[in-house]
Each structure stands twice: as C-alpha cells, then as structure tokens.
Amino acid sequence: MALHKTRKPDVDTAEDVFASPLSERALSKRVMPDLPTPPGIVYQVLRNELLLDGNAAQNLATFCTTWADDEVRHLLDLCLDKNIVDKDEYPQTAEIESRCVNILADLWHAPAAGGNAVGCSTTGSSEAAMLCGLALKWRWRERRRAEGLPTDRPNLVCGPVQVCWEKLARYFDIELRQVPVEAGATGLLPHQLRDYVDENTIGVVAILGVTYTCTYEPVAEIAAELDRIQADTGLDVPLHVDAASGGFIAPFLHPDLAWDFRVPRVASINASGHKYGMAPLGVGWALWRDAAALPDDLVFHVSYLGGDMPTLALNFSRPGGQVIAQYFLFLRLGREGYRRVYEACAHTAQHLARQIADMGPFTLLYDGEGALPGVSYTLTDPDAVGWSLYDLSDQLRMRGWQVPSYPLPPDRQDTVIQRVLIRHGVDRDEIELLADDMRRAIRQLDSGHPHDANRGGFHH
C-alpha cells in the first residue's frame, strides 16, 4: 500500500508533441515542475528554445571547435560515464591522456618527451594557464626563500593577454604587469620588457596567437631579450607561452618557427585542445619543459592500479570523452592531416583578406599569412564613412553571421577592429557568401538606409 498519494503525470503517449500540455504553456522558469513529462516532448521543446542561440557554424568570432566527425560524437557518447579523475577505474583513459601529453611534448620539442613528458589535460587553456602560472609563482618563491628575500609581491609580465591571465593574477594574488601595445604593433615587443621585469617577476607570458588580432608575439626574440637582461642584471626570468590557439597551428603551418621548447627559456606551454586542436569543447593542455619546471609541491599523488599517479588539476571530476576525442584526432589526421586542414583554412583566410582589402573602407591588420588562419581589419577613416564596425556587425548578424567588433586593448582602445576566424568546418563557399553579404551591407550602410528603405515591402 502506498504510504503517500502520488499524482500521475497527465500525458497521453499518443499525443503530438505540440499538442502536449508542456508545449501548450510557457516552461517553468523559476521552480521545478511538480510532475514529470516524457523525454521526447521535453527534448523537442528545448530544441526549439535553443534555436534562439546563434548558429555555431556561422560564429566567426570563436576559436573553438564547431564541427565534429560522427566518430567524435560516438566516442563522446561512449565515454559519457567516464570520469577522468578516476584513474583506477578508467586506466585506459588515463593511458590515453598520457599518450596525448607525450605526443604534444614531441610536437613542441620538449626534452622530456619519449614517454617522460611532464603535463596534463585540463578543461581548457584557462585552467592550464592557472597551473602554469602557479608553477612560475612557486618556483620564484622557492628561489627567493632560499636567498632569504621577501616573497610578498610577485608580478607577471605580459602584453595584451586573454582574460584568463587577469583571473590568475586576481585569484592567486599576483600583480599583472600588462605592457601597453605600441602604435602599429599587435603585441608585446622585446624592447619593452626591460622597463617591466624586476626581481619579483615570476615570469613573462608570450602569446602565440594574440586573441585580438590573430598574430604571434615574437617568442624567440622575447627570450633573447630576457637572455640579455639576465646577462646585464642577473635576473633569470622564465618564459611561458600561451599557445591557446597557435600551439595547434604553428607546428603544422610554421614548422621552422622556434616558439616552443626549442627556445631554452620556455618553461611551459598551454594550448586549447578545443580550439585548433579540433577536439570538442572541454579540453586543454598544460606542458612543462621537464620535471624541474614543475614544483613537486603542486603535484598530488594518487594511488593508481597499486602504483602512484601524479595528478595536477584545479577540477576534480571531469568528463573523459574530450581527451579520447583528442587522441582520435591525432590518430585520424596525423601531422599531414592537421597540415592540410590548416593550409586550407589559411588559404581561405587569405582569400577573404584580399576581398576585404578590395571592399574599400578597410585597412587590414592581419591578412591571414604567417600566424592564425583568420583576418583582422579596421576602418581606415571611421569619421569619413559615417558608420561604424558595430553597425556592420549588426547588418551581418541579420544574415546569421557573427563577426565581432571590439576595441583594441588599453592604450589603443580608440581603434575598433573586426576579426574573422577560419576554423575546421568553415569552407570556401561559406566565406564567399560572407563576402557577398559584407559588400551588400556596406552598400546599405553607405546609402544611409541600413534597413534598406528601397526593399519595397514584403512579397511572396
């Protein structure tokens, strides 16, 4: 006998989704509904709501993966129940994570490769940046303590960094010394460093793929300047490379560029597997040159199949599927596959850059050649055209395109720019359609009738 009365859900399984009680009223938004609803109905109703989100394939603002092979979807489904933190229960997932770390160590020329690579997967570059930043802080503090010097005012020197570095600084009490971008430059320049680096500098961050403009900061030249600073002052400042996006582009498109562990001063590197790594959202990578670059204090040891597994992470539980998908992509594409995908992306970016240059009102800041597959540009004379890049973004948005406009970082914030990223899954024809829409939008904005007064009504 039931101890309490239960109400039966009020549904007829033969009912059409859109005649069901759930679809006939607004969804519950503040409190959990009293009764269950069949999953197929909830699925369809939520699917409809999600249509209000932008279309990811037309999101030319994101660096993140928006296209996946069916096999990636199957693997994610297969791994839905695997928690990557449970190394004992899912030893093969742990093994595959370690293979990925070693593959990346080889790709980035770490001396500790060949099975001994030092690194881990993370939820993205942000978590990786936290871990690498903490390692820099710990090493600096150990050194200072050993010399009996104060350790209360650590600073980190960088150019126009992504917000994760501002978070690291705030969360972990580090002064962020952001070097202003010089007129005509797009990132940190070596000659600027001397004024910012001192005995409390835990490290310098160089960016391979500046978020604002898609360009690479000159890692080797920045390292050479730090070598000179060491020779002159004795300060030995390690370099971290934020290769969130460039870490998966440079090895394939610019193999001769020494930006990685080939540069002796580079202590650690982060990259986003879910950006140009092509893995689905939710995976990043943190790698250190060798064990000496990662203080043991930050590593936790868990017992693992009777042995000992070092772990390093801010999160505890995390899905394992993204790491498996990353390994799938390494096996599926190989070096040659990654090269071909990004060569195609770079050619498409350069093709778009030529068209943008021909449209008239723009000055290119980056033409898709030599760094990330993308384009950035600004209005040559914003006052003369009588409309802004924000207006152009709005016009393009009417056709579903998400092309962001934003100001450059502090000291150059008067310059508003626009950026288009070309990723895996963005094809040449799509970009032709975008360029057509840009030309049409410019004509409309130039005519002073952004909403097209000449369109003459609505006909079927």
Ligand X SMILES: *Cc1c(COP(=O)(O)O)cnc(C)c1O
- Which residues would be at the binding site for ligand X (CB under 6 A)? 63, 124-126, 162, 164, 207, 209, 211, 242, 244-245, 272, 284
Q: Which is nearer to ligand X, 154 or 282 (CB)?
A: 282
Q: Which is nearer to ligand X, 33 or 407 (CB)?
A: 407
Smallest distance from the beta carbon of 131 to ligand X, in angstroms?
12
β-pairing, 239-242 with 266-272?
parallel
Distance separating alpha carbons of residues 115 and 211, to the nearest angstrom: 32
Smallest distance from the beta carbon of 283 to ligand X, in angstroms?
8
Q: Which of 191, 185, 214, 192 lies closest to 415, judged by CA?
A: 185
H/E element, 437: helix 428-447
Using DSSP's 3-state secondary structure scheme, residue 376 falls into strand
Q: Which of 298, 300, 306 lies closest to 91, judged by CA?
A: 306
Distance separating alpha carbons of residues 438 and 254, to the nearest angstrom: 30
Q: Which residues are within 8 A (CB) of 41 and not within 5 positions of it... i.e. 6 or more apart?
A: 11, 17, 20, 22, 23
Smallest distance from the beta carbon of 369 to ligand X, in angstroms?
19
Smallest distance from the beta carbon of 270 to ligand X, in angstroms?
7
Distance separating alpha carbons of residues 245 and 36, to the nearest angstrom: 43
Distance separating alpha carbons of residues 385 and 395, to the nearest angstrom: 15
What residues form DSSP beta bridges with 206? 241
Q: Which is nearer to ligand X, 93 or 245 (CB)?
A: 245
β-pairing, 300-304 with 307-311?
antiparallel
Q: Which is nearer to ligand X, 272 or 418 (CB)?
A: 272
Using DSSP's 3-state secondary structure scheme, residue 302 falls into strand
Q: Which is nearer to ligand X, 154 or 187 (CB)?
A: 187
Smallest distance from the beta carbon of 279 to ligand X, in angstroms?
11
Smallest distance from the beta carbon of 160 to ligand X, in angstroms?
9
Q: Which is nearer to ligand X, 64 or 117 (CB)?
A: 64
Q: Which two tokens stand for residue 317?
A: 């539980």
Distance separating alpha carbons of residues 180 and 254, to the nearest angstrom: 27
Smallest distance from the beta carbon of 257 to ligand X, in angstroms?
16
CA angle, residues 293, 105, 338, in degrees to nearest 5: 145
Distance separating alpha carbons of residues 51 and 301, to the nearest angstrom: 45
Distance separating alpha carbons of residues 171 and 372, to the nearest angstrom: 30
β-pairing, 374-379 with 300-304?
unpaired
Q: Which is nearer to ligand X, 371 or 392 (CB)?
A: 371
Query: Could you tell me if 300 and 311 are in contact, meaning their C-beta atoms sit under 8 angstroms apart?
Result: yes
Query: Could you tell me if 58 and 426 are in contact, meaning their C-beta atoms sit under 8 angstroms apart?
Result: no
- Looking at beta carbons, which residue is closest to ligand X? 124
Letter for the amino acid at 195? D
Q: Which is nearer to ligand X, 98 or 162 (CB)?
A: 162
Smallest distance from the beta carbon of 9 to ligand X, in angstroms?
40
Smallest distance from the beta carbon of 245 to ligand X, in angstroms?
5
Q: How far is CA 99 from CA 35, 285, 317, 324, 347, in A?
A: 47, 12, 20, 10, 31
- Quick one: the chain helix, strand, coil %, rounded to 5? 40, 15, 45
Q: Which is nearer to ligand X, 72 or 208 (CB)?
A: 208
Q: Which is nearer to ligand X, 122 or 378 (CB)?
A: 122
Smallest distance from the beta carbon of 162 to ligand X, in angstroms?
3
Smallest distance from the beta carbon of 424 to ligand X, in angstroms?
16
Q: Which is nearer to ligand X, 200 or 211 (CB)?
A: 211
